[in-house]
Amino acid sequence: MAISTADFKNGMCIEFNGKLWTIVEFQHVKPGKGGAFVRTKLRDVRTGRIVDNTFNAGTKFDSVRMETRKMQFLYNDGTDFHFMDTNTYEQEALGEEIVGDVAKWLKENDEVSLQYAGTELIGIEPAMFVELEVAETEPGFKGDTVQGSTKPATLETGAVVNVPMYVEVGDVLQIDTRDGRFVKRM
């Protein structure tokens, strides 16, 4: 569907120079002399890189339909990660290169959001908070209660996060997946 700069909205996805971009922000400018134009910040859907671009008012673009599908993570067979649509029970296998760093937050039966631009998968987003068990960490020492001191802990998925000294192997922790930060012990 063709749209012009007058139709821009934050979060909208457009095709420009053969790439998919989401509009981070835009501003219509009408100077005293000359024609109106639109200043934009665009995020490359694949790389996440943000660029500034200026377009003449009325420039036409192809709009790309963005869709988010909730899926359940089933298992990792060593080469692929398997997900299931909980509405249709359709399964989809995605390679390690597509899943990337999100893998360290995936536990069987967790729900994730798969983001599509048209028919192309562009991203996987885990739940904002996940509960994972501590698989390995150094023991805390009695009296070692310095305020704010932390130690590394390896979780059941292989992710390594900094945790307070009182956390032990077997504890279930709530982790913020946006920055890998310890939230609380469950």
Question: In terms of DSSP bridges, do strands 172-176 and 37-44 run parallel, antiparallel, or are they unpaired?
Answer: unpaired
Model confidence at 79, pLDDT cuts 50, 70, 90, reads confident
> Which candidate, 17, 19, 21, 24, places its Cα nearest to that of 39?
24
* Sole residue written with tokens 């390679």: 95
pLDDT digits (tens, 9 = 90+) for 16-60: 888 888 888 999 989 888 889 999 999 888 777 899 999 998 889
Determine the pLDDT at residue 38: 92
Determine the pLDDT at residue 83: 92
Domains of the chain with CATH codes: 2-64 (2.30.30.30), 66-126 (2.40.50.140), 129-185 (2.40.50.140)
Q: Where are the beta strands (DSSP E) in the chain?
A: 2-4, 13-16, 19-29, 37-44, 50-56, 60-64, 66-76, 80-85, 91-95, 111-117, 120-126, 129-137, 150-155, 160-164, 172-176, 181-185
Determine the pLDDT at residue 74: 92
CB 132 within 8 A of CB 109: no
Mean pLDDT of 49-72: 88
Determine the pLDDT at residue 45: 80
pLDDT digits (tens, 9 = 90+) for 108-160: 898 998 888 877 787 888 888 989 999 888 886 555 555 667 888 999 888 89
| Contacting residues for 3 by C-beta, under 8 A, at least 6 apart | 12, 14, 60, 61, 62, 63
CA separation, residue 151 to residues 42, 158, 164, 179, 180 (Å)? 39, 16, 6, 17, 14
Residue 163's CB: how many other CB atoms inside 10 A? 22
| Contacting residues for 159 by C-beta, under 8 A, at least 6 apart | 104, 105, 132, 175, 180
Question: In terms of DSSP bridges, do strands 13-16 and 19-29 run parallel, antiparallel, or are they unpaired?
Answer: antiparallel
CA separation, residue 125 to residues 27, 99, 136, 180, 183 (Å)? 29, 9, 26, 13, 19
Determine the pLDDT at residue 27: 92
Model confidence at 100, pLDDT cuts 50, 70, 90, reads confident
